[in-house]
Amino acid sequence: MALLDNLLTLHRVDSQVRALRTRVESAQTFFTAQEKLLATLERQKTELETQHRQLQASVHAAEVEQAAATERVTKLRNELNTSTNDKQYKAILNEMKVLEGSKDEIVKRAVDEMQRAEDTKKRLEVHAATIAERIKIRDVAKTKLEECKGDVGERLAQLEAERSRAADLIPDRERKLFDKVADLTEGESMSEVTIVDLRHREFACGECNIEVPFETYAKLASNSDVAIQCKSCTRILFLAEANHPGAATEKDKAEAKVAKAAKAAAKAGLQPPPVMDQAARDRADKAKFEKTRKL
Ligand SMILES: [Zn+2]
């Protein structure tokens, strides 16, 4: 087989291999992202739990402090009743005043901390619900990844073997070129030359639409053993079977016959002659071009 045929075979298998790999890779990427997200959520949960414990501890400490102050006030009140002189009385009264003040502060602090602890608890509940949801998504992602690996695994191994067989048929230099272009174009390594206007010798790269010189078309038309790249998108150019000069003559003949019959019918007043479509015009042009090329 000619080089370009072998390259096309390699391209077909290579793009199948790439598509399968991409499927597994995207399933893997999605699963990894879910795992990362869950790890972050778990870390946040641990932080919230620590915060909650600290708040509960400080509420408890405030309660203990408040009880101690109350006890001290009760004791002072008794002492006040049994005080023997004015100086002592005033001192006890003063201490009681200070204690009452700090008790108010402690109560206020305890209420604040309790509120914060309550808020943290609510956040923890919302967080736990989020984690439960994300675990479901992560588990689905995991199942899908395993399914994908299972589905793809065997087929991928077959295709990879097929790919390496196809690659073995291609000389080193062209194979390296193919691999390079395939990597650059994500597997879209080959491009068909399209005939824009054969009469005016206008051709284009089927992938990027940039003009392909007539010399390239002529070279590809006469030799299937050359790897010529598109000067714009670097893809390896080829001519479709139907665009090979002299390739589709059987079809052309058949179509010409149909056209002739239609013309005869039209002459006989049966129906209007069919309009020649662009493809038919291209083929006719190509046949003419072939004649002049051979001259
Ligand atoms: Zn191109």
Contact status, residue 28 vs residue 195, Cβ threshold 8 Å: no
Q: Of 168, 190, 225, which residue sits at a domain end?
A: 168
Are residues 88 and 141 both part of a single domain? Answer: yes
Are residues 130 and 232 both part of a single domain? Answer: no
Tens-digit pLDDT string for the chain (295 aa): 799 999 999 999 999 999 999 999 999 999 999 999 999 999 999 999 999 999 999 999 999 999 999 999 999 999 888 888 888 899 999 999 999 899 899 999 999 999 999 999 999 999 999 999 999 999 999 999 999 999 888 899 999 999 999 999 999 999 999 999 999 999 999 999 999 999 999 999 999 999 999 999 999 999 989 999 999 999 999 999 877 776 545 555 555 566 666 666 655 655 544 555 667 767 766 666 665 554 4
The amino acid at residue 70 is T
**190: CA distance to ligand 1 center in Å?**
9
Are residues 51 and 122 both part of a single domain? Answer: yes
* pTM, 2 dp: 0.62
Cα distances (Å, whole numbers) of residue 75 to 70, 105, 153, 210, 237: 9, 20, 82, 99, 102
Per the structure, how many domains does the chain have?
A: 3
**194: CA distance to ligand 1 center in Å?**
11
Q: What is the pLDDT of residues 207-264, one digit of tens each?
A: 999 999 999 999 999 998 999 999 999 999 999 987 777 654 555 555 556 666 666 6
**279: CA distance to ligand 1 center in Å?**
22
- Cα(244)–Cα(241) distance, integer angstroms: 6
Q: What would the two tokens of residue 255 be?
A: 């179509």
Residue 270 DSSP label:
S
Q: What would the two tokens of residue 281 be?
A: 């015009």
- Cα(29)–Cα(36) distance, integer angstroms: 11
Are residues 143 and 13 both part of a single domain? Answer: yes
- Cα(55)–Cα(50) distance, integer angstroms: 9
Are residues 75 and 145 both part of a single domain? Answer: yes
**204: CA distance to ligand 1 center in Å?**
8
Are residues 16 and 159 both part of a single domain? Answer: yes
Are residues 101 and 64 both part of a single domain? Answer: yes
- Among residues 220, 267, 284, 270, which one has the least CA distance to residue 8? 220
Are residues 145 and 199 both part of a single domain? Answer: no
Cα distances (Å, whole numbers) of residue 257 to 145, 249, 253: 57, 12, 6
The amino acid at residue 153 is G
| Range(s) of the domain holding residue 282 | 249-294
| Residue 262 exposure: Cα atoms within 13 Å on the Cβ side | 11
**7: CA distance to ligand 1 center in Å?**
17
**CATH code of 140's domain:** 1.10.287.1490
**189: CA distance to ligand 1 center in Å?**
10
**275: CA distance to ligand 1 center in Å?**
32
